Homo-oligomer: A and B are copies of this chain.
Amino acid sequence: MLNACLLGCGGSIPLPERPLTALSLTTCGRSVLIDCGEGTQVQLRAYRRSLYDIETICLTHYHADHVAGLPGLLLSMGMCGRSEPVTLIGPEGLERTVAGLRVVAPELPFPLRLFTLKGELEEVDMEGYRIGAFAVNHRVPCYGYTLTIPRRGRFDAERARRLGIPLPYWRRLQQGENVEGFAPEDVLGPPRKGIKVCYCTDTRPCQAIVEQGKGADLMVLEGLYGAEDKAASAAQKMHMTMSEAVDLAAQAQPSMLWLTHFSVAMRDPAQYLPGLRQIFPHTVAGEAGMEVHFTFQDD
């Protein structure tokens, strides 16, 4: 139903052994990419993610390590034969940034649809999944993202029979269609838990992250440093330490937390896990190629 793959876990500088942070999300042959630094297209190939399928690219902000790979990716998507539109979502400055980078990718065989974020909290309905964007707190305008696959309520066959709804209408009502005066709400229970992923990097801790992480199957959060004596440096750079990220997860209670966007100076992020797991047990140190598959849970 939803496959998530962390394409890299580095921050600032792409290293041979640690590519830059980006997340690929695929549902039913349609993909969303969050962030696109230098080398992200190479990582997509390395983990056999389709470039052709990418229909939405969410950019947290316009620092090079999150966006410099965009023109190359768009060109490669064109070479893969994509002709359907691609939606780009990002903070103010999206048009200017895309126009600048497209100096090396002026011609594309598909249209770009730019969606510039302005509010604190915005939603983009992509028919089948929903992108949520929430403002966070970095040196420049920066957003975190959620991807949600909603799930309709359970079909009440007993009720459908009682209302005398003909059998051929059932499937269409179940899929959310109105049929001959009958509405889905007539036969569907309350919406059930869908699938939700929350991604957030390059920010100081803030309450919006907790709110948006609630109910998430996966949170992907920046943990720039692990050592406690780096807390002041993280704050000064408007970034987040591992323990700050874990504190947010402990409040939001997602099913799983992947830490990412590690400083070049931090050689072994996993060394901090024992302490972090005392605060939030389901904490994982991100690694390039880390993957998880989510399906709707049984009720």
A residues whose Cβ falls under 8 Å from a Cβ of B: 12-16, 19, 37-39, 41-43, 45-46, 62-65, 67-69, 71-72, 75-76, 79, 96-97, 99-105
Contacts and interface: CB of A to CB of B under 8 A. Distances in A.
Nearest to A104: B64
Contacts of A72: 14, 37-38, 64-65, 68
Given A14-B72, A39-B38, A64 B105 contact: yes
Nearest to A15: B45
B100 A102 contact: yes
A104 B39 contact: no
B96 A100 contact: no
Nearest to A264: B79
A247 B105 CA distance: 33
Given A42-B14, A64-B71, A100 B103 contact: yes
A41 B14 contact: yes
Task: With a 10 A CB-CB cut-off, give which of A39, A65, A71, A102 has the most chain B CB atoms.
Answer: A39
A75 B71 contact: no
Nearest to A69: B38
